[in-house]
Structure 1
Amino acid sequence: MSGKITCYLDVVSPYSYFALLHLERHREALKSHNVEIDIVPVFLGGIMGASGNKPPWMLPAKAKYSTFDSSRAKKYFGVHNFKTPSFFPILSLLPQRALIFIKAQHPQFFIPTFLDFYKEMWENGIDLSKSELLTNVLSKSFTEPQIREIFEKASSPDWKKKLNDNTDEALSHGAFGCPWFWVKNAVGDEEPFFGSDRFHNIWEYLGLPWKDVELLPKERSKI
């Protein structure tokens, strides 16, 4: 078996956090089936605007449902300290551009940094759109000169364009939100998947062995 999962994520999306955690937990199993994972930072605001989609807080019924759904999701994915920060939503351009540069120049730190960004924002309430707070998070893995370079590149036209290009690529694959997946299977067919609760569909599309959710019968009392 072989295939590729391209996953488009933005730190501003809580369900993208859940999706990245789930993919990383299954990375070795996917590797054993020769399935490649490519994590691509995008700008969710651009995707929402271009696709005509609206965030939950702009649709009252969707916002009401989200309170139940996020509670269930954080339990399922094991993010027990998850909470929506008071400053949400943020303009995620700076952290997303920084991630693109880190992926290109420091690939070994890309996934750990992405996970750090999610954890600091969604569990510790750190506003990553503020450069001084973002600097503190980056200091876990990078030296001061490296952090200066990350900020310099994240503000340069070339890396701003790269974020735009990534976002346009997701849109070309039909994206209207995050996490968005573009999946290629062993015969070269490709399909989109949306959300952090479609992994069983992805595994099936890739032809991978997987177990469905099983409802267990009530245990009978032992006499």
Structure 2
Amino acid sequence: MSGQITCYLDCVSPYSYFALVYLEKHREVLKSHGVSIDIVPVFLGGINVGSGNKPPWTLPAKASYSTYDSARAKAYFGLPNIKTPSFFPILSLLPQRSLIYIKSQHPTLFIPTFISYFHCMWEQGIDLSVPELLATVLLKIYDEAQTKQIMEAANSPEVKKQLNDNTKEALDHGAFGCPWYWVRNKRGEEEPFFGSDRFHYMWEYLGLPWKDMELPMGEAKAKI
């Protein structure tokens, strides 16, 4: 592989949802250019504390702007049904820990499960921090025995440590929010990227062929 995108995500972040959908949409194209993707579950609450950042909804100006920005993002990424659930924000430790175990034991179902978590929480209003509700969501993908294993493993010391390690790794790479990316290009250079609207910078850094946005001339000027 000539490039690597390591993407740190938390299901509590709608912008992580946008990022995951976008990256998965382009996974095969990136692979054709020798760029691999690694999706890494982290705890956004730990990143905020570790970096000293504050969630947007705690700052009035950011909260006000988010109303406009989220509407634009939902339209752009094709996820118009996203809405802030009544229980937001949740403590996302349980679902994020479950994803740690799923990634290691059910790798082919890891991404579908992560996307399902986003869909269930941000489009269906299901509180994934409630064990019984999380188990119900898992049962749509896994059998009863597997679901039981996942729920038990999510509370194991090994999985808890791995989520902490992933979160620390993101912080060590400069993270102050999600989605956060650590990108290595074909020259072996590495840089961080943040957000769901910086992919054009990322493609440039990776040396990929890409097309910039075009703004056509208006009809009135074109007729002159």
TM-score computed with the length of structure 2 as normaliser: 0.97
Q: Could you tell me which residue of structure 1 aligns to residue 169 of structure 2?
A: 169
Displacement of 1:132 in angstroms is 1.1
In 1, Cα distance between the equivalents of 2:133 and 2:182? 32
Q: Could you tell me which residue of structure 2 aligns to residue 24 of structure 1?
A: 24
Q: Could you tell me which residue of structure 2 aligns to residue 69 of structure 1?
A: 69
**Aligned partner of 2:118: which letter?**
Y
In 1, Cα distance between the equivalents of 2:80 and 2:114? 19
Q: Could you tell me which residue of structure 2 aligns to residue 158 of structure 1?
A: 158
**Aligned partner of 1:61: which letter?**
A
In 2, Cα distance between the equivalents of 1:167 and 1:145? 29
Deviation sequence 1:88-135 (CA, Å, 0-9, x none): 000000000000100000000000000000011111111100111111
Q: Could you tell me which residue of structure 1 aligns to residue 56 of structure 2?
A: 56
- The secondary structure found in structure 1 opposite 2:63 is helix
Deviation sequence 1:49-86 (CA, Å, 0-9, x none): 01000001111001000010000000000001010101
1:115-194 aligned within 5 A: 115-194=115-194
Q: Could you tell me which residue of structure 2 aligns to residue 78 of structure 1?
A: 78
TM-score computed with the length of structure 1 as normaliser: 0.97
In 2, Cα distance between the equivalents of 1:147 and 1:140? 10
Deviation sequence 1:14-33 (CA, Å, 0-9, x none): 00000000000100100001
**Aligned partner of 2:132: which letter?**
E
- The secondary structure found in structure 2 opposite 1:181 is strand
In 1, Cα distance between the equivalents of 2:217 and 2:7? 37
Q: Could you tell me which residue of structure 2 aligns to residue 95 of structure 1?
A: 95
1:100-115 aligned within 5 A: 100-115=100-115
In 1, Cα distance between the equivalents of 2:105 and 2:211? 38
Please say which of residues 213-222 and 111-120 is displaced more in the overlay.
Answer: 213-222
Provide runs of 4+ in structure 1 moved above 3 Å.
Answer: 219-222
**Aligned partner of 2:34: which letter?**
N
1:37-48 aligned within 5 A: 37-48=37-48
In 1, Cα distance between the equivalents of 2:212 and 2:53? 31
**Aligned partner of 1:125: which letter?**
G
**Aligned partner of 1:169: which letter?**
E
**Aligned partner of 1:38: which letter?**
D
In 2, Cα distance between the equivalents of 1:80 and 1:12? 17
In 1, Cα distance between the equivalents of 2:25 and 2:175? 24
**Aligned partner of 1:40: which letter?**
V
Q: Could you tell me which residue of structure 2 aligns to residue 216 of structure 1?
A: 216
Displacement of 1:218 in angstroms is 2.4
For structure 2, list consecutive stretches of 5 or more residues without a partner in the other structure: none
Deviation sequence 1:161-182 (CA, Å, 0-9, x none): 0000000000000000000000
Displacement of 1:140 in angstroms is 1.6
Question: Identity percentage over the alignment?
Answer: 71
**Aligned partner of 1:166: which letter?**
N
In 2, Cα distance between the equivalents of 1:106 and 1:36? 19
- Aligned Cα RMSD in Å? 1.2
In 2, Cα distance between the equivalents of 1:216 and 1:116? 38
